[in-house]
Structure 1
Amino acid sequence: MKTFVRKAIPEDASFSVPLILEAIGDIAYRLTGETNKQAVETALMKLFIRSDNRHSYRYTYIAEKNGTPAGILVLYYGAEAVELDLNLSSWLNEKKAVRVSLDREAHLDEWYIDTVCVHPDFRGSGIGTALLTYAEHTAAEHGDSKLSLNVETKKEAAIRLYERIGFSITEPWTIIGDSFHHMVKHL
């Protein structure tokens, strides 16, 4: 079975958003300002079809297995995150009339894997590896040497997986009050 990774389009929202929500969990509630799952999904759909935030289709990549969507990757350059998060904060402030600031998730000089998630029907078939390899190639094509991600400190199996493929824990990180390891792979 052939795996192909392509840039997402707005029409990929219905496939991508449930996987984004699964991957980022409770963080989605803070990013959308919503309190129930259906409202969070609706808000993420709106953010996905916009072009100016970290969960936009512009920063999402779809892995397909024999033409069927199988997984997603949300990837952007750390320096871009500043503007993306300002736009997201502005959207939230207008929506909720509450001043919201978002935690920085990456250093300015690294490509950041915000989200990677494989559809349950395709888990264990190499989709995650294909997406992570795509992220490496994207960073390298832009002449950059650092790829990063954050993983919850409790997710020991994920930490071992990332270490096996060349990521190293570089520092503690906090996102919305939760503890993460910031992991970097030097390319």
Structure 2
Amino acid sequence: MNSALTIRPALQRDAAFVAEMIHLSMGHLADYLFGADPASAQTFIENLARRNAGRFGARLAFLAESAGRGLGALLSFQGSGIDRLNLATFPHLFPALGFRHAFGFMWRGVRLPGGAEAKADEYYISNLGVHPSAQGQGIGSALLTFAERTAMESGLSKTSLVVGTYNQNALRLYQRNGYRIVETVEDANQILGYYRMVKVIERS
């Protein structure tokens, strides 16, 4: 990992990069949910990030950077707040996406398989993305460690996340960092299947 790496809260001016990392972390699921090509889906996510729209808000993000260059980003929050953040997203959908895409997003969103993404006693890693040019340098692990430290500072002893069953590279990253699969959700549409993973944090 680059010794000059720093992780800081995202600012509104970082919304475009945050959106890029959200889109990267979601993969084909983002294009499916937003009913758009990859470039348009990323633009929609950026619109939501700039508006601090619920769980897509830039205010929930942390940036990993070196020499002022963004290398990756993390969106995370306490699991107890996930329902509130999901609801807070909806008022922003129509102005950020337009009627057709907003309606499609809601329709597809409520039909997603599986149950709760996070539990109240967990610190939830909603999105974690590392720029392709910086992958393999320990950025993802550094962001996970940051999330775990934030969880402990919040009085929580577990972190959790979901990862697409097709995303084997991300799955291996999480397993190397101590995350264990606690639930497997399958779907006929491969991009909708996912693993829910949890890590119990040990205090040093």
Per the shorter chain, which TM-score range?
A: 0.7 to 0.9
Query: Per-residue CA shift, 1:38-78, capped at 9, x if unaligned?
Result: 33222111111122411111111100123321111111111
Letter in 1 for 2:82: A
Distance 1:176-1:35 versus aligned 2 partners, 3 A rule: farther
Q: Which moved more, 1:95-104 or 1:72-81?
A: 95-104
Is 1:25 the counterpart of 2:37? The answer is no
Distance 1:5-1:176 versus aligned 2 partners, 3 A rule: farther
The alpha-carbon deviation at position 124 of structure 1 amounts to 1.6
* 1:181 corresponding residue in structure 2: 195
* 2:167 corresponding residue in structure 1: 155
User: Which structure features the higher share of strand residues?
Assistant: 1
* 1:143 corresponding residue in structure 2: 155
**Percent of matched pairs sharing the same residue:** 34
The alpha-carbon deviation at position 144 of structure 1 amounts to 0.2
How many residue pairs get aligned? The number is 186
* 1:79 corresponding residue in structure 2: 80
Letter in 1 for 2:79: G
SS at match of 2:140: helix
Return structure 1 stretches of 4+ with deviation > 4 angstroms. 101-104, 174-177
Letter in 1 for 2:184: P
The alpha-carbon deviation at position 168 of structure 1 amounts to 0.9
The alpha-carbon deviation at position 132 of structure 1 amounts to 0.6
**TM-score, normalisation: structure 1:** 0.86
User: Which structure features the higher share of helix residues?
Assistant: 2
Letter in 2 for 1:112: Y
* 1:115 corresponding residue in structure 2: 127
Distance 1:45-1:158 versus aligned 2 partners, 3 A rule: closer
SS at match of 2:73: strand
Distance 1:176-1:38 versus aligned 2 partners, 3 A rule: farther
Please tell me the root mean square deviation across aligned C-alpha atoms, in Å. Answer: 2.4
Distance 1:186-1:84 versus aligned 2 partners, 3 A rule: same
